[in-house]
Amino acid sequence: MEYFDNGDRECLDVILHGSSKGFKTSESIQKTFQTDKDLGRSVVMFNFPFMDRNEIRKEGGGLDEEIATLKEVLQKCNATQCKKIRLIGKSLGGIVAAEYLCGLNIKDQEKYELVILGFIPGETKVNNIVSKIIIFQGEKDKYGDVEAVRKEVGAVTEHITIYGISGADHSFKDPVTGQAKYFDKVLELLFMNQKLEKEPPQKGRKRVVRIEPVIQKFNYDCGGAAVSNLLLMLGRGEVLKTELYQRLEVDPVNGTRIKNIKKLLDEEGVEYFEASGAGISDLEAALSVGYVCLVCYQAWGTEEEMDTLESGHYSVVFDVDEKSVWFIDPSVLKEDEVGEGIGVIFRTREDFDKRWRDKGVEGEIYDHWMLAVKVPY
């Protein structure tokens, strides 16, 4: 066990390893611990007993020993005195942490947050957890991609955010080369809200649109136009000349499917992450570290009409300030408010938060969904 105590009792991060490597040999566990320390956060990492015994843990075995060990670690760290506790579990560690929380009553769960690095559908049980849950899933995870995770947990709890990391396997490595090239992105996302709290963005800042926005030609091609704007912001304008709309399969009935957007970005080697169940603060944090975010939302209608999810629309969020969310919106043809222009619009944070839901052609719900790419400026 290794424990860093920052001296206060505001929060404690508890890192639980997976089934193949203990905390001393796992690069991802070590990196997570060091990032916590660098931010001045109390953090502990430890081994489950089977790892210290040099045993290979059999899948499907009981969790009594692992849960007992977690309880001992929490006791040694005086966790009962901490206001907030974040359990960060890698694969098996996520299963153990979830099982531990399921054994607590609702009141005792309130001080916890659960982070799962590599969710295993059918094994990681979160249905009785009321704590905030954050899941990171590689799009190439052998146990299931982000869509599989979303289907399993989406109807279970509303306190959940799911991040999908493009190109990554279950250990957030490149499945072809075996290089651990994606875990740094996981760390960036895992700690970006904490970094934003430590170094808040300067008030009054304003990001500007440095492209001439592509405007949609029809009432169904907002997705194609929004992806065009995303590619222009990435400096990948040449992709627009590759029969982009045909590759995205833009059509009058289905518009543009999210899976086709991800397929195109994968084909072009564009790294991205997606998130569902995100909040305005998550959007703001992503923007603060250089991302812009494709979103789908209900652009028109009253609140009653919005509930039908029949007014879906794609735009690119390029800025969030104290009052407003700013979009490159391919449907905007004129300046209605000061600061807007062709292809640019803003909505209040509260208004966008209400509208930030959409429905896919097969009935899948995209609740507070975004797809983020890092731009070179």
Q: Tens digits of per-residue pLDDT, 303-329?
A: 888 888 989 999 999 999 999 999 999
H or E segment to which residue 202 belongs: none
Q: Tens digits of per-residue pLDDT, 214-231?
A: 999 999 999 999 999 999
Distance from C-alpha of 156 to C-alpha of 221, rounded to nearest angstrom:
33
Structure letter (DSSP) for residue 1? -
Count helices and strands in the chain by DSSP H and E runs: 13, 15
Q: Tens digits of per-residue pLDDT, 220-259?
A: 999 999 999 999 999 999 999 999 999 999 999 999 999 9
CB 135 within 8 A of CB 161: yes
Exposure string for 183-194, b = 16+ CB within 10 A, e = fewer: bebbbbbbbbbb
Q: Return the pLDDT at 322.
A: 92
pTM of the model: 0.93
| Percentage of residues of the chain with pLDDT beyond 70 | 95
Domains of the chain are 2-198 (3.40.50.1820), 222-374 (3.90.70.10)
CB 256 within 8 A of CB 248: yes
Q: What is the identity of the amino acid at 178?
A: G
